[in-house]
Structure 1
Amino acid sequence: MKKFFLFLMSILLISCNGQENKVSKKKNLKMENKNLEYATFGGGCFWCVEACFDMLKGVESVTSGYSGGHKENPTYEEVCTGETGHAEVVQIAFDPSVISFSQLLESFWFLHDPTQLNRQGEDIGTQYRSVIFYHSEKQKEEAQISMENSEKSGKWNGKYVTQIVPFEKFWGAEKYHQNYFEINPNQPYCSAVVGPKVAKFKKHFGELGLLK
């Protein structure tokens, strides 16, 4: 489904570039004087995942990009073919004194269906796979325990297919992908797919008091 809207991106580049400095400054201001840790997750389209994680307290920045593939500096168009091996991911810089990696994992399980192999809804392909790229052995252990607990909870009906693999490289996506939903809430894919997920996430985690 997401591929259907690729042709709109060239039209949106002008408006996105107009927001570029604003977005960059916002992220830089957030990250000053912080002892941060990093988490890298893939759970379908990164526009949705980025928008939701960026709402959580203790999350200092969320960057959309690509991990897990074999090609250096992949482009969005190359990743969309499914031939580079990359997954669409977000890399999260977070303050562990405010939010834990385990809490980020709870958000991750809520955000997507981890029982779907190489897809989320109508977005189909290995680039949309469910994956956790762990940055340490501690993250690996926490991810494994969290997945087991989430699977046992019955939230999602079926066996989880989420990959838990070591982090190697992260390639930031093109600038027009960053803060995409915030800048383009009325873009057709955002209205139809991202917006409802963001609203559901905001309601659930807002009631838990975990939003900024």
Structure 2
Amino acid sequence: MQNLFKIGFGGGCHWYTEAVFMALKGVHKVEQGFIAPKEDPENFSEAVIVYYYPNLIALKDLVAIHLDTHRSTQNHSMRHKYRSGIYYFMNNEQAVLKELLSALQLEFKEPIITGILPFGAFNASEERFQNYYFKDTEKPFCKTHITPKMQLLKEKYAKHVSTDVL
């Protein structure tokens, strides 16, 4: 039996964050909604929980994909709604994530602002927003915001993209 791990990612609209991670081999499930960090359980922002098999896709690859598919170096005015964060579920993950971010920083010109936060609470999005991209890829938001991210996945991370998406 394979071990299933989970990690939370937030940074931009959870519609595209969900689509990005749903498109990957080794990802079992993606829950779309809002996450609050443990130390501030009322401070929710858009995010996803990704359930993955580490023997099929490494945490380093998930983190790299996350950083590349949202504005991980920009502290824009909507950060309260779109916090750039990685939410861990087990305390031993914090140090690993710090090392990964430090190593991945070399690939960016600007400092990465993505926080590493202990998971606190999750509220799922309404059912009508679940699987937003794959229900209708022709919606205007999908075409202008999500499809370009899917193209980036196909170009830079093709070995991780599910054949259903390619």
- After TM superposition, the score normalised by the length of structure 2 is 0.87
TM-superposed CA distance for 1:141, in Å, is 1.3
Please tell me whether residue 37 in structure 1 is matched to residue 8 in structure 2. Answer: no
Q: Which runs of 5+ in 2 are unaligned?
A: none
Contact 2:33 2:123 in 1 (8 A): yes
Q: Counterpart of 1:115 in structure 2: which amino acid?
A: T
| Greater RCO (Cα-Cα under 8 Å, separation 6 or more) | 2
Contact 2:34 2:47 in 1 (8 A): yes
Q: Identify if the C-alpha distance between structure 1 residues 150 and 35 changes in structure 2 by more than 3 Å, giving closer, same or farther.
A: closer
Contact 1:118 1:127 in 2 (8 A): no
Equivalent-residue separation in structure 2 for 1:137 and 1:118 (angstroms): 29
Say which SS state the counterpart of residue 126 (structure 1) adopts. Answer: coil
Q: Which runs of 5+ in 1 are unaligned?
A: 1-32, 72-84
TM-superposed CA distance for 1:35, in Å, is 3.2
Equivalent-residue separation in structure 2 for 1:106 and 1:176 (angstroms): 29
TM-superposed CA distance for 1:190, in Å, is 1.4
TM-superposed CA distance for 1:34, in Å, is 5.3
Contact 1:52 1:202 in 2 (8 A): no
Contact 2:153 2:161 in 1 (8 A): no
Equivalent-residue separation in structure 1 for 2:92 and 2:60 (angstroms): 11
Q: Counterpart of 1:40 in structure 2: which amino acid?
A: G
The CA RMSD over aligned residues, in Å, is 1.8
Percent of counterpart pairs with the same letter?
28
Say which SS state the counterpart of residue 75 (structure 2) adopts. Answer: coil
Structure with bigger helix share is 1
- After TM superposition, the score normalised by the length of structure 1 is 0.69
Q: Identify if the C-alpha distance between structure 1 residues 118 and 140 changes in structure 2 by more than 3 Å, giving closer, same or farther.
A: farther
Over alpha carbons, which structure has the higher Rg?
1
Please tell me whether residue 196 in structure 1 is matched to residue 148 in structure 2. Answer: yes
Contact 2:45 2:80 in 1 (8 A): yes
Say which SS state the counterpart of residue 138 (structure 2) adopts. Answer: coil
Runs of 4+ displaced beyond 4 Å: none
Number of aligned positions between the proteins: 159
- Tell me what 1:78 maps to: none
TM-superposed CA distance for 1:87, in Å, is 1.2
Say which SS state the counterpart of residue 170 (structure 1) adopts. Answer: strand
